[in-house]
Structure 1
Amino acid sequence: MASNPPGPCCLMGFKHEGTPKGEMKKIGNISTYFTDRSDAKNTDKAIIYLSDIFGISHNGKLLADKFAEQGYFTVYPDLLHGDHVASPEDYHSGKVDMVDWTSRHGPETVDPIIQSTIDYLRNTVCIQKIAAVGYCFGGKYVARFLMDGKIDSGYTAHPSFITEEELAAIQKPLSIVAAEDDTIFPREKRIESESILVKTKQRFQINLISGVQHGFAVRADLSAPGSRFAMEAAFVQAVMWFHYTL
């Protein structure tokens, strides 16, 4: 694998303050958070937000809103059909069996949700350029949908579950941000991923931020200056990548 499977560190982090600005709608039978552009920029471009194991979360909605504030129509589908991990406490108390949970949420169930979202954006909203952001669990699906060019650009923070074959097959640009302390995307996996990406001949970027752990780009402790900087830097990386590649 180019990154390891999800683990306990996926459940760490902090809930952020703020009120989401978007609204829940449906794409087919999939619950989806919609948050629209705040101005007329990038009217032909959209971002699909691919979540971590918490599914449609408060923090995720706030991040989706931030992408919309940068001029991108942003949609955030429920990749997990409501079967998300509700809280870190559920895992640590034994209420969630991650092996069993993971077996229910593989490409056979997740891919069709993303494909339906892409079809909606292209055929109903008439979006010309589609990017995807993927956090942890969602990072795998950024790579999968770059394989045959179904999306036009991708970004992932602290990805999990990406296979070497998926990464080697990307056909569009990919940006990655990694944490220094991450058992899921450790140093050897970063180096391996870099070697694979060079061979794809696609534009790519890998940034490493010290002093943070897996999950920092979504669930950082914003009261800690270093963690706040890292989360903000990860977001700016994504936005600048899409400004460049879309």
Structure 2
Amino acid sequence: MSSNPPGSCCYKGVEHEGNSVGRVETVSDFEVYITEAKDKSKENGILILTDVIGHRFGNAQLIADSFAANGYFVFMPDLFYGDAIKMNRPDDFDIMKWLQGEYNEKKTAHTPPVVDPIVEKSIKEMREKHGVKKIGAVGYCFGAKYVVRFLKPGQIDVGYSAHPSFVEDAELEAIKGPFAISAAETDSIFPAEKRHHSEEILKKTGQPYQINLYSGVEHGFAVRGDPKNRVVQYAKESAFLQAVQWFEEHIK
């Protein structure tokens, strides 16, 4: 694997202050958070595929609004059919059981056979209903796997991820577009050996790639890092700017 399976670090962190300005709508059979550029332009879109805390997490919505403020139409679907993980669950919570759907009433798993159709419908909605011509996708932790899986012509044009998890070698080898990564110095899910392994795979794809390593931070810093910690806040803001610059180069 290019990154390890999710662990408890995937749902621990700090909630950020601020009020989101987007709206929640229903598309097909799932919710989506939508936020738009000031000029309402929809030519260039950002599809945000979240970590396990989901689309209603305030931190994620504030990030979505920030992409919108940079001129993008932003679409952030619920990947979990209302079964996102609440932040800072007790240590006895088993994320692998959650992935298999054991904690929700319908026993709906959170695996590619369930998540892929949500991503497919989101891309179709962005292109056909909203007229988005180019789609950049952002994947945080859990969502990074699906950015990689859909980074191909006619689906996602440009990809970016922060502290990825659960990405398979074959998925990364198959990308057909530019891909960037923000990595944490301390990360059991995407440790140095996985980062270096991913770099070797990315070299072979022939696609433009970028990997930035941020010191003094841990897995989840780009979404759930403590803003009162100056090192973490710098890394969080820098990772966001990395994504914006990546999309400016390869989309606009």
TM-score range, shorter chain: over 0.9
Give the aligned length.
242
Distance in structure 1 (CA, Å) of the matches to 2:87 and 2:220? 14
SS for the counterpart of 2:150 is helix
Which of 205, 215, 231 is matched with 1:226 structurally? 231
1:20-169 equivalence runs, <5 A: 20-39=20-39, 43-56=42-55, 57-89=57-89, 91-92=90-91, 94=92, 96-103=93-100, 104-147=109-152, 150-169=155-174
Distance in structure 2 (CA, Å) of the matches to 1:87 and 1:228? 19
Structure 1 stretches of 4+ with a deviation exceeding 3 A read: none
User: Following TM superposition, by how much is the alpha carbon of 1:48 offset from its aligned partner in structure 2, in angstroms?
Assistant: 0.6
User: C-alpha deviations, 1:24-55, integer Å up to 9, x for none?
Assistant: 00111210001011136x64110011000101
Q: TM-score, normalised by structure 2?
A: 0.93
Distance in structure 2 (CA, Å) of the matches to 1:68 and 1:33? 12
CA contact (8 A) 1:149 1:171 kept: no
User: Following TM superposition, by how much is the alpha carbon of 1:148 offset from its aligned partner in structure 2, in angstroms?
Assistant: 5.5
Higher helix residue share: 1
Percent of counterpart pairs with the same letter?
A: 48
Distance in structure 2 (CA, Å) of the matches to 1:33 and 1:197? 31
Distance in structure 2 (CA, Å) of the matches to 1:127 and 1:223? 37
In the alignment, structure 2 segments of 5+ residues that lack a partner are 101-108
CA contact (8 A) 2:75 2:126 kept: no
SS for the counterpart of 1:156 is strand
Distance in structure 2 (CA, Å) of the matches to 1:232 and 1:5? 26
Amino acid at match of 1:68: A
Distance in structure 2 (CA, Å) of the matches to 1:238 and 1:208? 13
Q: CA RMSD in A?
A: 1.1
